[in-house]
Structure 1
Amino acid sequence: MRIFGTDGVRGLANGQLTAELALGLGVAAARVLVDHGEYDRDRPLAVVGRDTRISGQFLEHAVVAGLSSAGVDVLRLRVLPTPGVAYLADVLGADVGVVISASHNAMPDNGIKFLARGGVKLDDALEREIEDVLHSDWHRPTGGDVGRVSPHVGTVERYAAHLVATVDSPLDGLRVVLDCANGAASEVGPLALRQAGAEVIAINASPDGLNINDNCGSTHLEPLRKAVVEHGAAAGFALDGDADRCLAVDRNGEVVDGDQIMAILALALRDKGTLRHDTVVATVMSNLGFVIAMREAGITVKQTAVGDRYVLEEMKRAGHTLGGEQSGHVIMSRHATTGDGLLTALQLLDRMVATDQPLHQLASVVTRLPQVLVNVPGVDRSRADTDPELAAAVVAAAHRLGDTGRVLLRPSGTEPLVRVMVEAPTSEEARSVADGLADVVRRRLAL
């Protein structure tokens, strides 16, 4: 049974994700990742960071113990966003990076994500190797061969300086609201935006170990929308617990989603001549309105399976410089190896200054088609791609919509359900088509 999901190992802290498992994963990751490279120091080096969950404290100690017991030196970065850990893993030349976070999940959950050399996420093959050696015998180093553990000072300041250096224009005069989700960016987020010149109103930036993602951040936008209007801010940005995603709000309190954000940044990079191949990488869940807007601007959209790791893989394969997801994971490969919510916010503000246009005007390049998503539970998802009658129904629905809409049917990767997504010119038509296909799924794939 696989323990790695689409983004590391995740589960209820001290339930599925125990200190014992974290210790074992630290050992296994050290053995596998160090074996895949050469290091030019006495011992391999790892960096470890976490978000603000109270469970991150014991999980951090367990992972650090596993790594150091396997002969790896460890630098503890303490609380830092996932992209900050990835950045420091790269610039410090670490052989292994570890992030202890469950991202946007509720506080009781936690997770462990591993990074390879260069601060990049692991591919499936490396994760399988870690699982294979997790409980196997191994030769334990002793004496002076065990790893050393030490804190790394100045991590927040160094990461903030990196973010600010990506901005071309001072953000002086821009009032911005930043919802930190009581998570990993609660300190570095306001610092970076202020150093870039913005006037920052930080909300949900007082983590206590228990309040991460609690009715705040990128999954609960109402507090941000209200704060932007109340403070007369030019824009607002909502991060998740580990700050690798960002959603925006314009000065009117309207949400600017990941597709609109990618469109704004794609045009910005194209104008700078840094949008490689004039292509942006997105997932199949991106709204058709985004694809149409990019096509009209002369920009190609390459679509992948759902998950930022698949976006990253395609970006690396073809050398693309921009990719992301509708949920707000945006990857700008010239500055980061993973999605970075603070980088995204800074680049949007930079574009506002460069064009002297408000965020809602920049976002208007995308006219979103009504989108309806129906989850059909209690079905045999393994037959979703092979049932002939269901396939015929999907073809008929797509033919009915033609170029004005889109149909996507896919089995969940984690639950016994099938997702039906339909885009159409009107909400009523999208709902009608989606409900019709959901009925076919229930009838054909019933358990």
Structure 2
Amino acid sequence: MARLFGTDGVRGLANRDVTAELALDLGVAAAHVLGTSGELEGHRPRAVVGRDPRVSGEFLSAAVAAGLASAGADVINVGVLPTPGVAHMTATSDVDLGVVISASHNAMPDNGIKFFARGGVKLDDVVEDQIAARLEEPWERPVGAEVGRIMTDSGRAGESYVAHLVSTIGADEYTKPLSGLRIAVDCANGAASDIGPAALRAAGADVVVVNASPDGRNINEKCGSTHPEQLQAVVVASEADFGVAFDGDADRCLAVDHAGVLVDGDQIMGVLAVAEHEAGRLAHDTLVVTVMSNLGLILAMQDAGIRTVQTGVGDRYVLEEMRANGYTLGGEQSGHIVMSRYATTGDGVLTALHLADRVKQTGARLADLASAVRRLPQTLVNVRGVDRARAATDEVLLDAVAAAEARLGTTGRVLLRPSGTEPVVRVMVEAGTQSQADAVAEELTVVVRERLAL
């Protein structure tokens, strides 16, 4: 049987895969697993529930809240709030769990349900499986005064979250560290449509805003971090110092320099890592990245005296590595960046504030700061219709990979990555030139097809 939880909660087509019935049942199961009612006598579990603005989030958040309350948990419904905002509220309030209804950067018809444990941390696989296992389990329903209550937050959660965000760069009512900067912001018609611009303005920036009019159906539609083309044009037209783009739930951030050139998550991590390193705040002088980060970032960090640790693909694996070893900065090329001194998960608005603060403090253009990470040419080929299970054991294929890596030397690399769900093997090659990357990828693609044919 396929696992219910994926790399970032339960996700699928809303009202087909992710239904009101499933949302209600997950609310019940989560209350039983994450609530502490069985550990503390008389304790009533408390939960916070938030969502992004897609239309299906309205009925799914209501269903989750109903499930939680029916299991005896009190619920604070914060409405539309970025995923990291819900994580922050879970971490700073006396609640047992947080729930976010969001499909992040996915198109509007999709939706998802993800959970945070007490303290605002993502769940590990074991806990997710415990929740899934209790979906069909019989349970004794509370009655009368024992059922939970559902309370609506009046906007205080958003205000508290913005105050926290700006405080991380020393901004308050009297101190405006970003004054003098003009920043264009693409909110993806998502959860940060109000909070993103508000935080940057509270820190003193002059903000040019696009795609901040969510109607429930336009989230991520040709905008935001997955479609930065509009932002690139707006940055140039408005003569902004740079721009930032969030995704639908604002847990990721990409940037655009003054000339309209995209600055990806690897480059943003490089800029922030150097800033934290120089300030003496980068724990163990280490940056945590995934195996998909460009080799150019790794080489740039070596030059800056910063060590890198690589994990599997997915921000949850970055977070696990950071928590296990006390690291304070990590992320993905996609723009999921975790600054654990200030947040328990990836936070796009937090990233934007700290990137802007680095630009202001150095007086340098973002383009110049980002140029320290010279992205090596990269080729990615998805080889379909092959036996992905043999990718790690076929000796002829492994010898071909080793030979390619020897030819590339220290200025290139090869990554063979089987898909977790499809008969696909991904061949990624980085090299000193695009033609070299293309040639090596083509050679290895031929070997993969020959050796792993079904």
What range describes the TM-score normalised by the shorter chain of this pair? Answer: over 0.9
- Shift of residue 445 of structure 1? 1.5
Q: Partner amino acid for 1:358?
A: R
Q: Partner amino acid for 2:374?
A: T
5 Å-filtered alignment, 1:266-281, equals 266-281=273-288
Residue matched to 1:160: 162
- Shift of residue 94 of structure 1? 1.3
Identity of aligned residues (%): 64
How many angstroms apart in 1 are the aligned matches of 2:75 and 2:251?
A: 23
Deviations 1:287-306 (A, max 9, x none): 11100010011100000001
How many angstroms apart in 2 are the aligned matches of 1:100 and 1:156?
A: 16
- Shift of residue 399 of structure 1? 1.1
5 Å-filtered alignment, 1:257-268, equals 257-268=264-275
| 8 Å Cα contact 1:182/1:207 also seen in 2 | yes
Matched, 1:433 2:440: yes
SS at match of 1:10: strand
5 Å-filtered alignment, 1:46-445, equals 46-153=47-154, 154-168=156-170, 170-445=177-452
- Shift of residue 270 of structure 1? 1.0
User: Mean alpha-carbon deviation: is it higher for 384-393 or for 316-325?
Assistant: 384-393
SS at match of 1:141: coil
Structure 1 unmatched ranges of 5 or more: none
SS at match of 1:24: helix
- Shift of residue 310 of structure 1? 0.3
- Shift of residue 40 of structure 1? 8.6
**1:273–1:22 Cα change, 3 Å:** same
- Shift of residue 344 of structure 1? 0.3
How many angstroms apart in 1 are the aligned matches of 2:163 and 2:36?
A: 33
How many angstroms apart in 1 are the aligned matches of 2:39 and 2:183?
A: 45
Deviations 1:148-170 (A, max 9, x none): 10012212211111111011361
5 Å-filtered alignment, 1:10-49, equals 10-35=11-36, 38=39, 42-49=43-50
How many angstroms apart in 1 are the aligned matches of 2:239 and 2:163?
A: 27
| 8 Å Cα contact 2:35/2:46 also seen in 1 | no
SS at match of 1:23: helix
How many angstroms apart in 2 are the aligned matches of 1:262 and 1:108?
A: 31
How many angstroms apart in 2 are the aligned matches of 1:378 and 1:158?
A: 50
Deviations 1:117-157 (A, max 9, x none): 10000000001101111111111111111111001221221
Deviations 1:186-215 (A, max 9, x none): 011111111110011110000000000000
**1:39–1:227 Cα change, 3 Å:** farther
**1:431–1:41 Cα change, 3 Å:** farther
- Shift of residue 41 of structure 1? 7.0
SS at match of 2:343: coil
| 8 Å Cα contact 1:322/1:331 also seen in 2 | yes
Q: Partner amino acid for 1:6?
A: T
| 8 Å Cα contact 2:34/2:117 also seen in 1 | yes
Q: Partner amino acid for 2:239?
A: G
CA RMSD after TM alignment: 1.2
SS at match of 1:47: strand
Q: Partner amino acid for 2:59?
A: F
How many angstroms apart in 1 are the aligned matches of 2:152 and 2:24?
A: 19
Structure 2 unmatched ranges of 5 or more: 171-175
How many angstroms apart in 2 are the aligned matches of 1:401 and 1:430?
A: 9
How many angstroms apart in 2 are the aligned matches of 1:105 and 1:414?
A: 18
Residue matched to 2:173: none
| 8 Å Cα contact 1:39/1:95 also seen in 2 | no
- Shift of residue 384 of structure 1? 1.3
**1:9–1:282 Cα change, 3 Å:** same
**1:436–1:18 Cα change, 3 Å:** same
| 8 Å Cα contact 1:177/1:202 also seen in 2 | yes
How many angstroms apart in 2 are the aligned matches of 1:38 and 1:428?
A: 61
**1:37–1:372 Cα change, 3 Å:** farther
Q: Partner amino acid for 2:232?
A: R
How many angstroms apart in 2 are the aligned matches of 1:40 and 1:250?
A: 56
How many angstroms apart in 2 are the aligned matches of 1:446 and 1:206?
A: 49
| 8 Å Cα contact 2:182/2:242 also seen in 1 | yes
Q: Partner amino acid for 1:139?
A: E
Q: TM-score, normalised by structure 1?
A: 0.98
- Shift of residue 414 of structure 1? 2.7
| 8 Å Cα contact 2:37/2:45 also seen in 1 | no
| 8 Å Cα contact 2:36/2:45 also seen in 1 | no
Q: Partner amino acid for 2:326?
A: G
How many angstroms apart in 2 are the aligned matches of 1:364 and 1:167?
A: 23
- Shift of residue 313 of structure 1? 0.3
How many angstroms apart in 1 are the aligned matches of 2:346 and 2:298?
A: 20
- Shift of residue 42 of structure 1? 3.8
SS at match of 1:410: strand
Give the aligned length.
447
How many angstroms apart in 1 are the aligned matches of 2:69 and 2:118?
A: 17
- Shift of residue 93 of structure 1? 2.0
Deviations 1:54-81 (A, max 9, x none): 0000000110011011110000010000
